[in-house]
Amino acid sequence: MNIWTSFKELIFLFLQQIEGVVGDWGLAIIVLTVLVRLALMPLTIKQTRSMYELQRIQPKIKELQAKYKDDKEKLQEETMKFYQENKVNPFGGCLPMLLQMPLLIALYQVLGGTAKHPGMLMEYLTETGEVGKFFFIIPDIAKTPSMVYSTQGLVAAIPYMLLVVLFGLSVWLPQFLMPGDKQQKMIGGYMAVVMLWFGWSAPAGVLLYWDLSSVWGVAQQQIMMASMKRAHADDEIVQEPAAKAKGKKKNK
């Protein structure tokens, strides 16, 4: 048994312990999602701060690009100098994201899977004959929306289809809320459509985890962005009277 398998088994064992307390597999996934998001908060906060700083200095970066558009080497030199002077790491948001990836992949392999290659949860539910329900909302979290639609019809598939819609929105909404050009937002829209197709064949347990995690992430990002904008505005307000006061003293 390798380290990766042991890591996934540890996650699944933890999920089983949660389900043993709450008595519902869907609710256990929600509790696990909250705990994972809390554990990742130091990384996601750092990532959001880095994103905000990059947005804040973007107008100056565009000025440098226009000024040195014919001198790529000078542009690179001045850009890196500007980053250093403002203590901004252009790759600061990448490291937290990369550190999260192994956990996210492990969670998908625990909660997700296919009929041919089931994840740990699907395999467990199949072997034990247990139904992984989420109260009365999702009768079986191991089933995919496409599976429910093809075997039980549209009405039975509606709760699963809502998870798919939320899955697509979870990709599109962060791009829509973030400042950026139209092309970037269009790419986010295309990605959302791809995610709708992917979500149609994903187990409901995976969709439930991803939807809740995304809602948490968007809310946290918006709250932090608003807070940092207010803090930055306050700094400017504090500095402005001081500058005016110095000007008045000079005039005297």
Q: Is the separation of the CB atoms in 103 and 36 below 8 Å?
A: yes
Q: Are 206 and 115 in contact (CB under 8 A)?
A: no
Measure the CA–CA gap between 23 and 223, rounded to whole angstroms: 33
pTM of the entire structure? Answer: 0.78
Q: Please report, rounded to a whole number, the percentage of residues in the chain having pLDDT higher than 70.
A: 84
CA separation for the pair 130, 122 (Å, rounded): 10
> 220, 48 in Cβ contact below 8 A?
yes
Nearest residue to 64 via CA among 49, 50, 80, 53: 80
Q: Is the dihedral of CA 204, 208, 211, 214 positive or negative?
A: negative
Strands of the chain (E only): list them: none
- pLDDT beneath 50: ranges in the chain: 236-250, 252
pLDDT, residue 184, reads: 63
What are the structure tokens assigned to 77, written together?
């030199």
What per-residue confidence (pLDDT) applies to 115? 64
Q: How does pLDDT run across 193-229, given as a tens digit for each residue? A: 888 888 888 888 889 998 998 888 888 888 888 888 7
Q: What is the pLDDT of residues 163-199, one digit of tens each?
A: 999 888 877 777 776 655 666 667 767 777 888 888 8
